[in-house]
Amino acid sequence: MYNDVKLEKGLYNLSGKSFTSALEELDPSAAYAGTELSSLDAYERQLKRYNIKVNGSDCDMVEKFFTSTETAVLFPEFVSRCIKKGFDETVLQAVTAVRTVSESSQYLGCVLDDSAAYGTTAQTVALTASTVTEGTTAVTLEKIGRLINASYEAIRRQRLDVFGVMLRSIGVKLANTVVSKAVEVLIEDASEITTSSLSYSDLADLYGEFDNFNMTTVLTSPAVASKIAAMDQLKDTRAKADGKIILPFGSELVKSAAVDDDTIIGLDRNFALEFITSTGLILETDKLIDRQLDQMTVSVTCGFRKITPDAVQLLTITS
């Protein structure tokens, strides 16, 4: 049971396992099916065990994690989860078709040659072929990270929900830096149409450039996104409950500061881009457990590869 789990630093350093995965092996969630704890994972059960409240009106302060050596072990996972939540609530989800974990800092994917025309084939005539081969150019994964300066004395009396929001904001900005790498890959060698002055008909033309795929996403700079949102054709458009704006032809309007004001990227998120990581978010844990918080580091090593080139189209504003 979760009350019997021995919490120690070594749970963070097991090869190929996250802290929560290690806890799950010691305290499987399947054992709680049909009970009031069935909705909690192994980490959340440990928070309940030690009565650590991370949100709500009676939310605890940071120092609650450091009432014992065992509860201190839970703090790095709290920090990691907050940053990861912010990281995952970004544009990355709107532009990535698949996420691949690579054991190396160099990733060599496969390439599809699908250029031969599709059509009917007479009897005895060979079918046209699509060919999958190993790529010739490897993607080099890059490390993107952040150093966080925060002494224990500065944050010990801070409410956990407020501190968690700060950490989430770091995750958001870290992810937006990662998105800039995605934008570089999306733009490279993409087919484009041009316009001298952006209008709704230009967006419709961009939509029409997709033949085999759908334009699920329109990715623009914040300035261009605001111009699109102000177009007369969108005056009856209503944002969804989650704040997403859906254009009349079904594409989600997504803004990112990584895109310049002269470029609009249309893509089919289901086919366009592969997000490659050699790690998840990496956080230094020992210092956090020992309350040596003066310098926390969080990083991710990642890269991107375009899977289906014709699932990406550009609209370039020339003036």
Pick from 304, 305, 306, 285: which is nearest to 296 by CA?
285
Instruction: Decide if pLDDT at 288 tops 80.
Output: no
Position 291 scores a pLDDT of 66
Instruction: Decide if pLDDT at 292 tops 70.
Output: no
- For residue 143, the cross-strand partners are 301
**Residue 278 and residue 302 in contact, taking contact as beta carbons nearer than 8 Å:** yes
Position 228 scores a pLDDT of 94
Pick from 61, 73, 68: which is nearest to 22 by CA?
73
Portion of the chain with pLDDT greater than 90, in percent: 61
pTM: 0.85
Q: How many other CB atoms sit within 10 Å of the CB of residue 282?
A: 15
* Residue 286 confidence class, pLDDT cut points 50, 70, 90: low
Q: How many other CB atoms sit within 10 Å of the CB of residue 186?
A: 25
